[in-house]
Structure 1
Amino acid sequence: MSNPTPISHPLIRSGEPTLAVHDWGGTGAPTLLCHPTGFHGLVWAPVAAILVEAGRRVFSLDFRGHGDSEETPGGIYHWEGFADDVLAVAHHLKIAGDPSLLAVGHSKGAAAILLAEEHEPGAFARIFCYEPIVFEGSELGLDSVAFSDSTRAIDPLDNPMSRGAMRRRRIWDSRDQAFDAYASKPPLSSLHPDALRAYVDHGLRDVPGGGVELKCHPDHEASVYAMGVMNGLWPLLPGIKAPTVIACGESSDTITPAYAAAIVRRMPNAELLTMPGLGHFGPMEDPGALAAAILRFAGRPAAD
């Protein structure tokens, strides 16, 4: 199936990065899709197409420093900012607080939704999180005060994900060259071709003189990973009351089923969904399975 083309527009904010907002169409209950670190809101194309066909009104966004949204001055990406992005877009679209609104997030995008709902209870009627990035402080050797301080700046070199991001190739001869390279080896070789194509087509920009470059600068991606361990979400989980699915891939080594279950136990209205055969990139590995799980959750009675 070919990827749909949304209508995109900028959300200009005073004193904050301008955000790219994508409207996938549809006429039903609203759904807001939030992407992981290093990606962008258009990578949801295969999932969005299924949700629109099923009768949902679908939106997504590019977080600050990703896709066509502006970068954060100084290149430091505190995760409170991503929560602010989610809330800003929801209010801009006039869907915050809608009793039929479903917020869907993957990895950092899922964590941003949870942070946003804790900051503004009732913003999202239901939440579907695929492997939200949540760290229990003691696992990282952090004391409780430091762990809850999401404003600290962290050295990216202290984080293996950050080190990997800083080594990422930024310049390619063409999008097709990048697509072929990504498709040939992990981790992106596990992505569905439509999701990978959306990532490449919209995640790289043309550069003067020829070639393309990643829109999400590797140094900024490294900052996101570095600050992620300090996002302060773990102690906030008990205060998030919205009905929530915490989904994970059966074979994931990022948020394992056992760790996802620990997240669920801390939340008053959450349930675990383990998805067979999927890893951390599940929403992009099997968009059909992810969309079906979202629709099952969205279609349940509110009291369920």
Structure 2
Amino acid sequence: MSSDHVSVAIHELGGTGRPLLLAHATGFHGYCYLPIADHLSDRFTSYALDYRGHGDTPRPDDRAVDWDRYGDDALAAARAIAPDGGLVGFGHSMGATGLLMAAHRDPDLFDLIIAFEPIVFPTDVDRSGDGPTPMIEGARRRRPSFDSFEAAVENYSSKPPMQMFAPDIVRLYVGHGFRPAPEGVRLKCDPEHEARTFETGASHSTWDLLPEITTRVVIVAGGDQMGPAEVAPKVAERLANSLYVEQPDSNHFGPFIDPAGTADLIADMIR
């Protein structure tokens, strides 16, 4: 149970070995990371959470988005999976931010966090005039329903960014990210909730807390040098115990484009 009486959905994705918690990006859900878990099945017992308003975790009725509550969700999931600590975490975008928040609140939970382009920006920069970004506008315009699951898969597979994704990830996104509805199938993550999450991504104070996080953290960034990738080296510099890894041929959707490569990265960081 997280804050606001939200019951966080945790999915066991199989495997044997020490526990690994996978934390998803904005607008997605835990099952999207099943291919990564499959590649690591001989090393880890993998779990994935759904943040509030995503997948099978409900959104509070007030529709407000508070990134600190995403940290609460990650903390609740991590404590449920590994109450005695020793957890490895892999977080993607918003998911990475939630894991960093959780590590700050409970330093004994994680042995290692691998954070792929966390959404952590300097708090001394005024971003109020940035205006809507393509991510925000795209989320707000997102089509909420389709005639069928197959129609949704066909739609997403034909346009960016999902046309770059591994095909099984698109099917997992649709299969676990939509529910049956009178019109066919409907998104579990409301487009407005996704848009508000993007809008408020710079509103939390995790940047100020980075020097207080003692957990070992690997910060990973693609090579496009935009947004979270641009800030990622500075995030690593502010952490007390960190390593920075750049993947020049990747971008913000790297874990979905190359899940096998992402699994290899996780395994390498453990070694």
- Where in structure 2 are the equivalents of 1:154-193 lying within 5 Å? 160-193=134-167
The whole-number CA distance in structure 1 between the counterparts of 2:53 and 2:71 is 14
The whole-number CA distance in structure 1 between the counterparts of 2:167 and 2:215 is 34
Comparing 73-82 with 258-267, greater Cα deviation is found at: 258-267
Q: Alpha carbons of 1:14 and 1:126: their partners in 2 closer, same or farther (altered >3 Å)?
A: closer
Letter in 2 for 1:124: F
8 Å CA contact 2:15, 2:38 repeated in 1: no
Letter in 1 for 2:23: C
Letter in 2 for 1:274: E
Corresponding residue of 2:73: 85
Q: Percent identity?
A: 38
The whole-number CA distance in structure 2 between the counterparts of 1:19 and 1:84 is 10
Corresponding residue of 2:106: 120
Moved over 2 A (4+): 12-15, 96-99, 137-142, 157-164, 251-256
Q: 3-state SS of the aligned residue for 2:244?
A: strand
Deviations 1:263-303 (A, max 9, x none): 1111111111112421101111100110000011122xxxx
Corresponding residue of 1:267: 239
- Where in structure 2 are the equivalents of 1:104-115 lying within 5 Å? 104-115=90-101
Deviations 1:217-250 (A, max 9, x none): 0111112112211021111111111111100112
8 Å CA contact 1:110, 1:130 repeated in 2: yes
TM norm structure 2: 0.93
Corresponding residue of 1:285: 257
Give 1:137 deviation, angstroms: 2.6
Asked if 1:206 corresponds to 2:180, the answer is yes
The whole-number CA distance in structure 2 between the counterparts of 1:14 and 1:168 is 28
Letter in 2 for 1:261: P
Q: 3-state SS of the aligned residue for 2:263?
A: helix
The whole-number CA distance in structure 2 between the counterparts of 1:91 and 1:273 is 28
8 Å CA contact 2:178, 2:185 repeated in 1: yes
8 Å CA contact 1:76, 1:224 repeated in 2: no
The whole-number CA distance in structure 2 between the counterparts of 1:290 and 1:140 is 33
Give 1:81 deviation, angstroms: 0.8
Corresponding residue of 2:6: 17
8 Å CA contact 1:253, 1:279 repeated in 2: no
The whole-number CA distance in structure 1 between the counterparts of 2:146 and 2:127 is 39
8 Å CA contact 1:110, 1:133 repeated in 2: yes
Task: Give the gaps of 5 or more residues in structure 2.
Answer: none
Equivalent of 2:222 in 223, 226, 249:
249
TM norm structure 1: 0.83
RMSD: 2.0
Asked if 1:98 corresponds to 2:85, the answer is yes
- How many residue pairs get aligned? The number is 271
